[in-house]
């Protein structure tokens, strides 16, 4: 097999357009951060092309990694800061213990954050005195924010959100020990929202921009009314997918579905999740009540109760009873074509429904 000499390889690199080289570097760097870092050291040309890719997505899960990363960014601030290349910044890990940032580190982050002028997605799964950092930060191109909400910086987070009118996606997760208040949120271009019911109650969206909404009701959340009133601006046109979940028994799936039918009858997708007691079967009277509610939907295609599991793990227990429920729902809503119930996925239309098994 012929091997290119060092001189020949340099000629090829100089001959190829920068756009092609950047694609090659992107492909190589997607598999290994170390390989991408090594490429940056090969030549000035490759360094100039690889550096923006190297810093495009930054994910930090420990305090030590955060200190080292921001020390590097601060060292290379100057007239051409490397922070300008960052498009995605993730601090902490969703679903795990939040990253606890000490006060001195937060102070050191502030000047670097000001260089993230082209940041598009910010993910903050942290706790600590984050208020000053959020108050000083402004990202003109920010499109998505995923953040936990801690009592220590909830007020600053609300101001940060309302200051970034460019946001189209907002995911908020309260800390486990306390559901902090966040107040009114006004985003004229918001398309996707995920968060607790109490935060949805303060949501103000202009121009009926919302398309997908995921709302989780906690035991401490207020009644359904305020949240539905806030989301009522979306009832006429744009929103097509709604995911609703509950951690508390006082708000049932029937209540959630009834509110959805009353306020958003044009929904195409409704996903209802129980966060506990998921093994309980749906009583026949509840299934019948749901059938009466489904009549109100005009465009509903997908209805999910909990998540679809492997049918082989579920077995054939109560399959005939589930089939009767699914058929009754199909009769009530003639636009339905997919239903998930008790871990089984059914496909069909009207009175003809079959259990779906992936190949």
Report yes or no: 84 and 123 within 8 Å, Cβ to Cβ.
no
State pLDDT tens for residues 144-179.
Answer: 999 988 878 888 999 999 999 999 999 998 776 556
**Are 156 and 214 within one domain?**
no
Asked whether residue 304 is assigned to any structural domain, the reply reads yes
Residue 238: C-alpha distances to residues 122, 206, 261, 264 (Å): 25, 12, 15, 10
Interval 236-255 mean pLDDT: 65
Interval 229-235 mean pLDDT: 54
**Are 60 and 178 within one domain?**
yes
Q: What pTM, to 2 d.p., does this model score?
A: 0.77
Report yes or no: 176 and 190 within 8 Å, Cβ to Cβ.
no
Interval 268-281 mean pLDDT: 72
Number of independent structural domains in the chain: 4
Q: Where a domain ends, among 182, 217, 234? A: 182
Asked whether residue 188 is assigned to any structural domain, the reply reads yes
- pLDDT reported for residue 133: 92
Asked whether residue 238 is assigned to any structural domain, the reply reads yes
Residue 78 pLDDT class (50, 70, 90 cuts): low
Asked whether residue 323 is assigned to any structural domain, the reply reads yes
**Are 47 and 81 within one domain?**
no
Residue 257 pLDDT class (50, 70, 90 cuts): confident
Domain interval for residue 341: 278-283+295-359
Please tell me whether residue 111 adopts helix, strand or coil conformation: helix
Rounded to whole angstroms, the Cα distance separating 212 from 337 reads 19
**Are 177 and 192 within one domain?**
no
Rounded to whole angstroms, the Cα distance separating 326 from 332 reads 10
**Are 207 and 119 within one domain?**
no
Name residue, tokens 């399959």: 319
**Are 59 and 173 within one domain?**
yes
Please count the other Cβ atoms lying within 10 Å of the Cβ belonging to residue 352: 9
**Are 49 and 152 within one domain?**
no
Name residue, tokens 């960052």: 86
- pLDDT reported for residue 258: 86
**Are 62 and 18 within one domain?**
no
Q: Where a domain ends, among 145, 165, 182? A: 182
**Are 328 and 349 within one domain?**
yes
């Amino acid at each position: 097999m012929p091997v290119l000499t060092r001189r020949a390889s340099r000629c090829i690199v100089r001959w190829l357009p920068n756009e092609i080289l950047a694609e090659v570097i992107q492909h190589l760097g997607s598999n290994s951060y170390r390989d991408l870092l090594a490429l940056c050291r090969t030549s000035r040309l490759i360094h100039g092309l690889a550096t923006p890719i190297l810093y495009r997505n930054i994910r930090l899960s420990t305090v030590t990694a955060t200190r080292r990363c921001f020390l590097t960014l601060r060292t290379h601030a100057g007239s051409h800061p490397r922070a300008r290349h960052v498009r995605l910044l993730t601090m902490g890990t969703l679903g795990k213990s939040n990253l606890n940032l000490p006060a001195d580190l937060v102070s050191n982050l502030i000047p670097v954050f000001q260089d993230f002028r082209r940041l598009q997605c910010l993910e903050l799964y942290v706790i600590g005195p984050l208020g000053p950092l959020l108050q000083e930060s402004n990202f003109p191109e920010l499109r998505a924010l995923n953040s936990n909400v801690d009592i220590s910086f909830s007020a600053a987070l609300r101001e940060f959100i309302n200051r970034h009118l460019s946001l189209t996606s907002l995911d908020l997760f309260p800390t486990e020990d306390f559901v902090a208040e966040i107040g009114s949120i006004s985003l004229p271009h918001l398309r996707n929202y995920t968060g607790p019911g109490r935060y949805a109650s303060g949501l103000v969206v202009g121009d009926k921009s919302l398309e997908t909404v995921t709302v989780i009701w906690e035991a401490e959340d207020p009644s359904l009314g305020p949240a539905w009133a806030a989301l009522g601006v979306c009832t006429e046109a744009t929103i097509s997918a709604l995911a609703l979940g509950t951690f508390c028994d006082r708000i049932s799936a029937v209540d959630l579905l009834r509110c959805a039918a009353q306020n958003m009858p044009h929904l195409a997708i409704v996903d209802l999740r129980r966060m506990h007691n998921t093994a309980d079967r749906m009583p026949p009277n509840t299934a019948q009540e749901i059938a009466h509610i489904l009549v109100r939907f005009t465009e509903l295609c997908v209805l999910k109760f909990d998540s679809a599991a492997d049918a082989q793990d579920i077995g054939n227990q109560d399959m005939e009873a589930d089939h009767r429920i699914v058929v009754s729902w199909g009769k009530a809503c003639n636009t339905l074509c997919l239903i998930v119930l008790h871990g089984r996925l059914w496909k069909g239309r009207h009175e003809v429904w079959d259990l779906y098994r992936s190949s």
